[in-house]
Amino acid sequence: PLGAFLSGGIDSSIIVGLMARNSSLPVKTYSIGYKDMPMFDETEYAREVAVLNNTDHHEIKLSARDVIDAIPDVLDSFDEAFADSSAVPMFVVSRETGNDVKVALSGDGGDELFAGYRMYAGEEWYSRYCLIPSLIRGQIIEPLFLSLPDSRDKKIPDYIRRAKKFFKGAKYPAFEGRFFAWNEIFSGELRESIFTRTGGIDHDLGKRLLAERLNERNDDKINRMLYADMKESLPGDMLKKVDAMSMLNSLEVRVPFLDHRICEMAFTISGDRKIKNGKVKYILLETFKDILPRSLHNRPKWGFEMPVSKWLRSDLQYLIHEYLSREVIVKQGIFNYDVVEELVDRLISNRSDTSWQIWNLIVFQVWYSNYMVG
């Protein structure tokens, strides 16, 4: 039996739409959401696609308790400090899917081939932003946004968070600098201050690696970014996560977008056809408009992430106390506790969303205690 992951986004909706048109039986589809978390729950959009294609649809709703129960299995399954929080919902949806089918199709690869992340539209917005006089940008717009609290938990604070991320990259005149700034979780300043040791750590390794990938291809800026992500984050993060979590549940996941013929064709298409007027994946929306719900055309992409920020301030705060306490950090001797404490304080007080940095630190600490201690 064959099934499909259905997030309600463009890529998975295309996969399910094509499956439904080529199947004599209803396609089994699976989506995951969060109880009482509307900002992170896209199951209503998945349901719309399921109804449109008459699928045999299954919804899984995660609570904080479900996540707490799943975290040990998820983190123990990697032999490295793998800090993509969406591995947890991927583990749960794979477990539930694997109870019904042995093979599932996924929309992975569509973002990296056809420009699905907001970051790819950043260059277009950067060109427009530079039309504003530098005095207004530097002394009014940026200080105003940087003074406001941000969060992933609510719509307006999340827009503020994204604006801050954009400004962080926009200060770099070189395209490579902007791309790296929009990608990084720990800023250069934070990477240099958080470690107790200053020698022997190459803080610019990731930046050089991405720069090399960007320069391997003589193409427009959008396709160069896509190529870099195809070579780095797609295999090292997205596909690794899907493969590890699905195989842990005896489920085989296949990714139709990554058929080599589609990959080769995608890179013959210019970047300005993949993004138009700030709308990402424009060419996919136009090509498959007959099988996609109209609502998809104007709905912003959210992504497959957990509400880490909210839960680290509540149900998952025990992880901070267990792995990032003064006693643990000082005894370990790797991180500067004052810097770690500041990250935690900023999150708990809602001054700024440092949840990704804190989650990365927690995952490293779990890995360290499992593999490096004793």
- The predicted structure's pLDDT at residue 315: 94
DSSP letter string over 13-34?
A: HHHHHHHHHT-SSPPEEEEEEE
For CA atoms 349, 352, 353, 355, the dihedral sign is negative
> What confidence tier does 198 reach under pLDDT thresholds 50, 70, 90?
low
pLDDT at 303 over 70: no
- 73-104 pLDDT, tens digit per residue, is 999 999 899 999 999 999 999 999 999 999 99
For CATH 3.40.50.620, list the domain ranges present in the chain.
2-115+229-298
Mean pLDDT (whole number) for 311-328: 96
pLDDT at 278 over 90: no
Nearest C-alpha neighbor of 164 from the set 343, 354, 341:
354
Question: Is the CATH number 3.40.50.620 carried by domain 2-115+229-298?
Answer: yes
pLDDT at 302 over 70: no
> What confidence tier does 199 reach under pLDDT thresholds 50, 70, 90?
low
- The predicted structure's pLDDT at residue 204: 81
The residues, any chain, with a CB within 8 Å of residue 264's CB and separated by 6 or more, are none
Mean pLDDT (whole number) for 316-340: 96
- 329-341 pLDDT, tens digit per residue, is 999 999 999 999 9
- The predicted structure's pLDDT at residue 301: 65
Rounded to an integer, what distance in angstroms lies between the CA atom of residue 14 and that of residue 33? 20
pLDDT at 374 over 70: no
Mean pLDDT (whole number) for 269-294: 93
